[in-house]
C-alpha cells in the first residue's frame, strides 16, 4: 500500500448487536486505534439521525494528528434493523496534507463511489475479509497516485510563479490585521474559495479545531501590508453552539451561497441574523454576500438581481465567484481588505 499521502484506510460496519465493527484496517495506523476511529466515524453518522451523506466528509482525529476522509455506505438488508445495512470507509491522512484533500475533494467522488458499491455488494454476499482488503487497497492506490500527481504539479507551478503585484513580507511587519468570518451552508464552497485565494500565500496554516479552520494571507493594499485572517466556519447544524464563539473579534464577513441551490440563498439571512445576535452592540461588520459556483452556468437558479437585492437589504455588497475557475476570487478578498483599510484611515 502506498502511504505518501495516506496513513491508513479502515472499513467499519454498523453491527446491530455490537455497534461500530471495524472489519479491515490497512496502513500504518496501530491496530489498537481502529475501534476509536470506527466509533467516531459511525457516531457522526448516528448523530445526523441516520441520514447518509451523499458527498465525502472530512473528520478530524486530533489525538492521532490525523484527519479522515469519510464515505458513508448503506445497502438493503432485510436481516438488519430497519431493513438496511450501514458502514463507512475512513481514509486517514496527516493534517499537514489537508490542503490537497480539501482542494480536490470533489474529484475523489468517483473512486470512493466505486469502492462503496463494491463493499455494499461484498456485505450482501457475506464475502471473506480478503475481498474487502482488495477493494480498500485499490481505492488507496488510486487515490494516492491521483493526489500525488496533483501535489507534485502544484509544487512545480508554485515555485515557478512570482507575486509581482501583491508582495509578501514578514508577518511581524504587517501594518493592519483583519479577521474575516466566512459562513454559509455546507457544500457551498467556503473552503474551496479560501484555498483558491491562499494557495500561493507566504504563510498558511490550519487549526484542526472541530467546526472551524483558520488560514491567513499577507498582501499589499496601497502603501500598507494587510493580513487577512480567514475563519472558515463549519455550516453543519451540529456545530451551531460551537461556532458562535468564533464570531467574536470579527472585522468583516463573507456569507456564501451556491448559485445553483435556492435554499442556500434563503439561509443567508439566517446566518446574518445569527452573527448580528452574537455581536450585538458592536458596529456593523463590513461584509459581502458571495454567490459561488458561477461556473455551473447551466445549473444556476439564482439571478444576480435576486442576490443583489438581498445584499442591499442587509447593507452588504454582492459578488459572484467561481472557486473552480478562480473568477472574482482574488477580487472578493482584495475588495473586503481595501474596504476595511479605508475604514481605519
Which pLDDT does position 153 carry in this prediction?
Answer: 63
> Model confidence over 193-226: pLDDT tens digits?
888 888 744 333 433 334 577 888 888 888 889 9
> What does the pLDDT read at residue 170?
53
- pLDDT(242) > 80: no
Provide the pLDDT confidence category of residue 91 given band limits of 50, 70 and 90: very high
Q: Give the CA diameter of the chain.
A: 70
Q: Which pTM does this prediction carry? A: 0.53
Cell of 196: 483558491
- pLDDT tens, residue by residue, 243-300: 567 788 899 999 999 999 999 999 999 999 988 888 887 778 899 999 999 988 888 8
Residue predicted with more confidence, 126 or 54: 126
Average pLDDT over residues 45-72: 79
Average pLDDT across the chain, whole number: 82
Q: Quick one: average pLDDT of 233-243?
A: 60
Higher-confidence position of 336 and 63: 336
CATH of domain 171-344: 3.40.50.300
The larger pLDDT score, comparing residue 52 to residue 323, is at 323
What are the extents of the domains in the chain? 8-159, 171-344
The residue that leads in pLDDT, 155 or 167, is 155
| Average pLDDT rounded to a whole number, residues 297-313 | 93
Per-residue pLDDT at 166: 45
**How many CB atoms lie under 10 A from the CB of residue 157?**
11
pLDDT band at 171; cut points 50, 70, 90: low
Q: Residue 174 has what pLDDT?
A: 85
pLDDT of residue 198: 84
Average of pLDDT values for 79-95?
87
What's residue 201's pLDDT? 40
Determine the pLDDT at residue 5. 82
Residues 6+ apart with CB under 8 A from 264: 184, 185, 188, 257, 258
The residue among 134 and 147 whose pLDDT is bigger is: 134
Work out the pLDDT band at 326, boundaries 50, 70, 90: confident
Amino acid at each position: 500500500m502506498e502511504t505518501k499521502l495516506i496513513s491508513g484506510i479502515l472499513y467499519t460496519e454498523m453491527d446491530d448487536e455490537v455497534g461500530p465493527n471495524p472489519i479491515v484496517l490497512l496502513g500504518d495506523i496501530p491496530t489498537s486505534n481502529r475501534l476509536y476511529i470506527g466509533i467516531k466515524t459511525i457516531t457522526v453518522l448516528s448523530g445526523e439521525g441516520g441520514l447518509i451523506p451523499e458527498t465525502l466528509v472530512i473528520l478530524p482525529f486530533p489525538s492521532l494528528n490525523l484527519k479522515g476522509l469519510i464515505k458513508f455506505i448503506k445497502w438493503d438488508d432485510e436481516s438488519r434493523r430497519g431493513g438496511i445495512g450501514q458502514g463507512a470507509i475512513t481514509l486517514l491522512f496527516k493534517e499537514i496534507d489537508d490542503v490537497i484533500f480539501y482542494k480536490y475533494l470533489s474529484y475523489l467522488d468517483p473512486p470512493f463511489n466505486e469502492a462503496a458499491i463494491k463493499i455494499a455488494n461484498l456485505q450482501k454476499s457475506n464475502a471473506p475479509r480478503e475481498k474487502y482488503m482488495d477493494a480498500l487497497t485499490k481505492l488507496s492506490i488510486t487515490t494516492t497516485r491521483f493526489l500525488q500527481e496533483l501535489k507534485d504539479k502544484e509544487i512545480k507551478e508554485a515555485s515557478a510563479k512570482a507575486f509581482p503585484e501583491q508582495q509578501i513580507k514578514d508577518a511581524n511587519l504587517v501594518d493592519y490585521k483583519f479577521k474575516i468570518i466566512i459562513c454559509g451552508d455546507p457544500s457551498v464552497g467556503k473552503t474551496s474559495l479560501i484555498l483558491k485565494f491562499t494557495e500561493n500565500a507566504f504563510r498558511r496554516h490550519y487549526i484542526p479545531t472541530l467546526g472551524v479552520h483558520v488560514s491567513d494571507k499577507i498582501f499589499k493594499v496601497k502603501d500598507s501590508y494587510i493580513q487577512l485572517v480567514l475563519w472558515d466556519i463549519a455550516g453543519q447544524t451540529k456545530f451551531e453552539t460551537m461556532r458562535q464563539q468564533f464570531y467574536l473579534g470579527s472585522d468583516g464577513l463573507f456569507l456564501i451561497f451556491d448559485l445553483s441551490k435556492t435554499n442556500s440563498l434563503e439561509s443567508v439571512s439566517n446566518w446574518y441574523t445569527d452573527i448580528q445576535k452574537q455581536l450585538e452592540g458592536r458596529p456593523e461588520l463590513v461584509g459581502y454576500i458571495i454567490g459561488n459556483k458561477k461556473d455551473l452556468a447551466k445549473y444556476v437558479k439564482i439571478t444576480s438581481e435576486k442576490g443583489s437585492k438581498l445584499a442591499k437589504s442587509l447593507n452588504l455588497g454582492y459578488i459572484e465567484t467561481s472557486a473552480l475557475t478562480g473568477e472574482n476570487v482574488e477580487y472578493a478578498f482584495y475588495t473586503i481588505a481595501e474596504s476595511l483599510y479605508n475604514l481605519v484611515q
